Copies of this chain bind each other. A is one copy, B any other.
Amino acid sequence: MSETKITLPESAIPAGWYNIAADMPNRPQPVLHPGTGEPVGPDDLAPLFPLDLILQEVSEEAEVAIPDAVRDVYRLWRPTPLYRAHRLERELGTRSRIFYKYEGVSPAGSHKPNTAVAQAYYVNEAGRTRISTETGAGQWGSALALAAQLFGLECKVYMVKVSYEQKPYRRSMMETWGASVVASPSQDTNSGRAILESSPDSPGSLGIAISEAVEDAAQREDTAYSLGSVLNHVLLHQTVIGQEALAQLEVAGAFPDLVAGCVGGGSNFAGLAFPFLREKIAGRELEVLACEPAACPTLTRGPFAYDFGDTGQLTPLVPMHTLGHDFVPPGIHAGGLRYHGVAPLISQLVLDGLVRAEAYGQKDVFASAVRFARAEGIIPAPEAAHAVHGVVEAAARADAEGRERTILFNLSGHGHFDLGAYDAYLRGDLEDFALPEDEIERALKAIEPLPKPAGVSS
């Protein structure tokens, strides 16, 4: 039997992040100011983000050097292992070879620290001493809390109130790493106070928490705002995943026919897929698959349009596949995939046919996740379980067609804080949330694509 996992020494941590914008056949459209309809410039973003991150957001260089201090933190868990899924292959009885990159070995349990660490570094370099963000169930907030602690920054997390009350463990994790966590809506911001005044019992929402975190950062010179997905620089920081995987597959003497990842905002998918898409753009044969929930089918059902990034219409207008900024997906357990839009870079790649998307129901996803856990040991996060299911399906298709494929996917995190979801599945209590067509139609009608700005090619 060949190796089960391929590990690399710390010297193999990539020296740079890969910026796919440099190689895309069509660059994504610019983000627009909702008032003027003009592209958003560095000055618009400066109150929220340090200049280095703004420059990364618009960079056209293929490689952005990773600062030594960031690579030093990456050493705490990187390079992450690449597994050959021998036991899953046997369980499936497939002729295909299946590999997965496992990002759950980070202290926060997911890929999120890859960008949290980079962002905390640049915020500190820019002389700010504090960082604010929002979090739903806490996956992103805990990654940022860890990163802020390692760079000596204060960290303020606005956590959606219903999660704050019902899922205290991620909150405890953030506080253990020194973050200050408050239930959103809170008394700490104008937007929070306004909502509490009209609805004292508001359970909160990611949209409200974003408003609070942005307001916090905008009003304090010592504070930067931090986002865990969607933006170009966030996806950029995740590309260490795919670069390591390329090197590890080379050790195994393999190159994939299929690369898959789950997509919410898009950062873990991009992190694995972009370095492989570079090869595909250069002419190499490769299928790239984005796995999303049927309850929030942004890429498979949403049109490509200019839309707000948040429910509250506070953000710039973003060119992306979207189900409409007022679309509220059902409460599936993969909370990280419940986003009405998706990263502009990924949207453009789907539009250009370089990435294909599929959507799956929650029950099928958990069935594959349990199958995976019983074969490989690791219990996948519900988000990552979408990629697992996509691969199970792809292997079955290949077997039916008599093909032997080499499949790679991103197991972006573990499910230690999602065992309640597994419990619901095993007891038969899991809902599938088949989305009514009329609800999608209604959401789609609400999107009014804005005219493109002058001088922007399509």
Contacts and interface: CB of A to CB of B under 8 A. Distances in A.
Interface of A: 1, 3-5, 7, 9-10, 72, 75-77, 87, 105-107, 109, 146, 149-150, 168-169, 171-173, 175-178, 370, 373-374, 376-379, 416-417, 419-420, 422-423, 426
B7 A3 contact: no
A76 B4 contact: yes
Contact of A419 (B172, B178, B378): B172
Nearest to A176: B422
B377 A175 contact: no
Contacts of A107: 373, 376-379
Contacts of A416: 109, 169, 416-417
A377 B426 contact: no
Contact of A422 (B3, B10, B87, B172): B172
A423 B170 CA distance: 10
A77 B173 CA distance: 24
B426 A77 contact: no
So how many copies of this chain end up in the complex?
Answer: 2
B149 A374 contact: yes
A106, A171, A176, A416 — most chain B CB neighbours (10 Å): A176
A76 to B, nearest CB: 5
Given A175-B426, A176-B422, A150 B377 contact: yes
A106 B416 CA distance: 12
A75 B4 contact: yes
Contact of A373 (B87, B176, B376, B377): B176
A176 B7 contact: no
Contact of A423 (B5, B75, B149, B172): B172
Contacts of A149: 374
A370 to B, nearest CB: 6
Nearest to A168: B423
B169 A76 contact: no
B5 A373 contact: no
A377 B419 contact: no
Nearest to A84: B75
A446 B304 CA distance: 77
Nearest to A149: B374
Nearest to A83: B76
A213 to B, nearest CB: 22
